[in-house]
Amino acid sequence: MSGILDHLAIGFGVAFSLTNVLVAMIGSFIGTMVGVLPGLGPVNGVAMLIPIAFAMNLPPETALILLAAVYVGAEYGGRITAILLNVPGEASAIMTTLDGYPLARQGLASVALSLSAWSAFFGAIVSVVGIILLAPLLAKWALAFGPAEYFVLMIFAFCCLTSLLGKQPVKGVLAAMIGLSISVVGVDANSGVYRYTFESVHLADGIEFVVVVIALFAVSEMLEMLEKVMSGHSVEVKPSGRKLFNLKEMALTWWSVVRSSLVGFGVGVLPGAGASVAAAVAYSQEKRIIEAKDPEAKFGKGDMRGLVAPEAAATASAIGSFVPMLTLGVPGSGTTAVMMGALTLYNITPGPVLFDTKPELVWGLIASLFVANVLLFVMNVPMVRFFAKVLSVPGWLMVPGILCISYIGVYAINAGTFDLLLVAGIGALGYFLRKFGVPMAPLVLGVVLGNMMEQNLRRALSMTDGDVAVLFASPVSIAMWVGAAAVVIVPQIMRRMRAAKKLAAGPA
């Protein structure tokens, strides 16, 4: 324990230097702004700042602190538009829209934003403490996950979606299948075969995630708002009342935040799993736990526990993804992969020896993650009132404004007009799917997880010459298969038992 305290003393000594505190503050602010803009996200934000940091000749620990602050800032910023406008700034904010946006429409935008900031802050602190205490042990645990285990993890994540499907699971499965179909468009990375491109060179690289998420959330949402305006209905939201959550709401959501933070950190430690998986698993876990106790819970309609669960999990996962990067030299997410590239510019190779050769860099980064999250919390909570003012913009101005910002984000990807046409087409499809009650969350998660599922399945089967027994070979795989079966079967049994009880109690 004394060794850890000594290392933390080194880390906070680095993090609390005037230059690094200022860099963390600037990075947190830039990250928040990057997260707010749909289509950028933390990966692009970090990538854009690497050449700037290198050109400024910053020391490696200061450069890493800047990039880490941008990362955690972008994670929070992506939730602002998800809550206010139903436009997730990045993949992990998809689950936030399910209850965050309904809360904003009910006049609780400021409360939802402050709860989001609090739960994200708590998830980050849990994750930082986890890194300090458990990094070496968790690194060894992460090594137990091979391609087969990752494939089963994705299966488990999809099975968790069954708790999001409500009373119409067929529509949810249809949405997930559409998402998986979109994820396989483009050149097959293994064989070089063109799949579902319809001889269009524009589809050779596949369909970008940003295109799908902007189309399904921003465009289809705007089409629904336009429909309401044309039919004479108002699209204005209730004015935001209270600016912060109260102690009663904090008590209501407390255990959801704690459970989701732990889930998020556990998923974050797994290289490549990502915050989107953590958010989906945490949301579905909370939905099952809460609805088992309270069948009248309003998940998907503005339940605060449904807001804090993905928020805490996604942030904890983002911070947890530093564990495999620092201890194994394996990127835990796309953003940490970019940050590893930044370290190579300084001739630094992440891995087990980094803790001994560069303790000031590793522990300075860990301490700065704590500092950056405190700065984000202190900086963003007072701005809740300002952010909520977005909802007071009249609909006739908000609709074209959101579409302009969204299309700028899409155009910035490839600087081509084909993506703009694709957004319009997929957005129209999303509008009709919404009209038929098809949920959007399983569809987008299908797009996010589809490529990872396919690649890990191929790797697992190539290692055993096509023997599917490898998917059931390890204790980790077996445990997750059992968990996947349980999350599908147990809710059905519980639902039937409740129906049987009501039927039996009916005549009395």
Report the distance separating Cα 399 and Cα 405, nearest Å.
10
Report the distance separating Cα 298 and Cα 295, nearest Å.
9
Does residue 237 contact residue 96 with C-beta atoms inside 8 Å?
no
The 3-state secondary structure of 164-182 reads HCCCCHHHHHHHHHHHHHH
pLDDT, position 508: 47
CA 181 to each of CA 4, 444, 502, 504: distance values in angstroms, whole numbers, following the listed order: 48, 11, 40, 44
Domain boundaries along the sequence of the chain: 1-229+246-503
Query: Which structure tokens are listed for 336?
Result: 């940490």
Continuous segment of H or E residues that includes residue 110: helix 109-142
pLDDT by residue for the chain (508 residues), tens only, comes to 566 777 778 888 888 888 888 988 888 888 888 777 665 667 777 777 777 777 777 888 888 888 888 888 888 887 887 888 777 767 778 788 888 888 888 888 888 888 888 898 899 889 888 888 876 666 566 666 778 888 887 787 777 665 555 556 778 788 888 888 888 888 887 777 888 888 888 888 888 777 887 787 778 877 877 776 676 655 555 555 566 777 888 888 898 999 999 998 888 877 666 677 888 888 888 888 887 777 777 787 888 888 999 999 988 888 888 877 777 666 666 677 777 777 777 777 776 667 777 778 888 888 888 888 888 888 877 777 777 676 666 666 766 777 777 777 677 767 778 888 888 898 888 889 888 888 777 787 788 778 878 888 888 888 888 888 888 888 888 888 888 888 778 777 777 777 777 777 765 4
The 3-state DSSP class for residue 143 equals: coil
